[in-house]
Amino acid sequence: PYLIMQANHSGRYSNPGNKPAPMIAYRHPILEQYRAADDSCIVTDDYLKGLEEKFGEAAALAKEAGFDAVDIKSCHGYLLAELASAYNRPGEYGGSFENRFRLLKNGIRAAKVYEDDSFMVTARIGIYDGYAYPWGFGVSPESGMTPDLTEPIRLVRDLHNELGLNMVNLTMGNPYATTHVTRPFDFGKYEPDEHPFVGLSRMIHGIGAVKKAVPEMTVWASAPTYLRAYADLFSAGAVEQGLCDGMLFGRMAFADPDFANEIVKNGRIDPKRVCLTCGKCGDLIRAHKPTGCVIRDSKTFMPFYKEFLEIKKTQPANFRG
C-alpha cells in the first residue's frame, strides 16, 4: 500500500482531552450553531506564523516513520480551510487570496524540504464549502450558493506551478455542518434539501472543472461511496471522461476493506458488502474509538459504537453535526 499521513490542524473542531476548545480564523455565525466560539478563540497572526514550520516538522516525522507521503490538509472546515474563506479577517492571513492561502503555501514549502524520490508532499483541498459569500470558499459575491471555481482553480494551479505539487485530492463541504455536500447519504443527522445525486454531481463536475483547467496536476476525486455497488463504474467513467485521475474511497474501505481486490479479481465490487452510508464510522472516529463498519462487522465495532453512544450522552457538544 501507498501510505499517506494527513497533517491537519483541527481549528474550530479542536478537542483536546475530548473537550471542545475551538481555535478559529474568524467568527462564523453559521458554524457557531454547531460549535460555539467567541472572539477569544480567534487565533493570532503570530500563532499562524508559528504553524508554518510545524507542517515541516510533521513531514519529517512522517518520513521517519516510513510513510510514503504527507498530505497538508485544507478542507472540511478545519483551520486551513477556514482561512480560505477569511475574506474579512484583517492582517497577513486574511482578505486577499495570497493572504488567505499564506499558511497553506508556506506549510507546503516547509514540508517540501523533506521530499525526495521516496517521499512526496501532497495536499487535500476543499474547493467548495457550501455557504454563500463571505462565509464559504468556492463562491463569489455574485454566485450565492452556486459554486464559483475561479479561486479553487487558481489555487490548484499555484500549488503545481509555484510549489511543485504533482498530486492533490479535491473535496467539498464540511462534514460537521454540510455533511451532505461532503459525503451524500441516505441516513444521517438531518434531512438535506437535495437528492444525494445532486451532491454527487456537484462534487465530480466541480472536481472535473479544476482537473480540466489544470490538466498537468494529478487529481484524485472524492465521495463515490454513496453509489454502493455502482461506485466502481462511476469511478471508471469519471476517469474515462477526464474528470479526475482516480477516486478515493473512505466509507467503502471500512465496509469492505477488500473492495479494490474484488474489482481486480471479479471485475466488480461485491454488492453484499457495500457501505450503506449510515455515518456510524464517522461517529467512531470523532469519539476516538477503533473505527470500522458497525453494520458489516458488528461483532468487532458495535461494542465501540455503544461506548460512543454513552459518551455522547455526557458530551453532546462534541458530536453535533
pLDDT for 320 beyond 60 = no
268 confidence band (pLDDT: 50, 70, 90): very high
Residues 192-228 pLDDT 10s: 999 999 999 999 999 999 999 999 999 999 999 999 9
pLDDT over 70 at 316, yes or no: no
Residue 315 has pLDDT above 80, yes or no: no
Residue 237, domain member (yes or no)? no
The model's pTM is 0.95
Within a domain: residue 15? yes
Residue type for position 308: F
Decide if pLDDT at 116 tops 60: yes
Q: Does residue 178 lie within any of the structural domains?
A: yes
What percent of the chain clears pLDDT 90, i.e. is strictly above it? 91
Distance CA 69, CA 5 (A): 6
For residue 25, tell me if it sits in a domain. Answer: yes
pLDDT reported for residue 127:
98
Can you give the pLDDT at residue 11?
Answer: 98
Where residue 142 sits, what CATH number does that domain have? 3.20.20.70
Any idea how long the chain is?
A: 321
When divided into structural domains, the chain yields a total of: 1
Interior angle at CA 10, CA 6 and CA 16, nearest 5: 115
With respect to residue 217, please indicate whether it lies within any of the assigned structural domains.
no
In a domain, 242, yes or no: no
Give the pLDDT confidence score for residue 264 in this predicted structure: 93
Q: Which of 10, 12, 9, 11 is nearest to 32 (CA)?
A: 12
Show the domain range for 96: 4-182
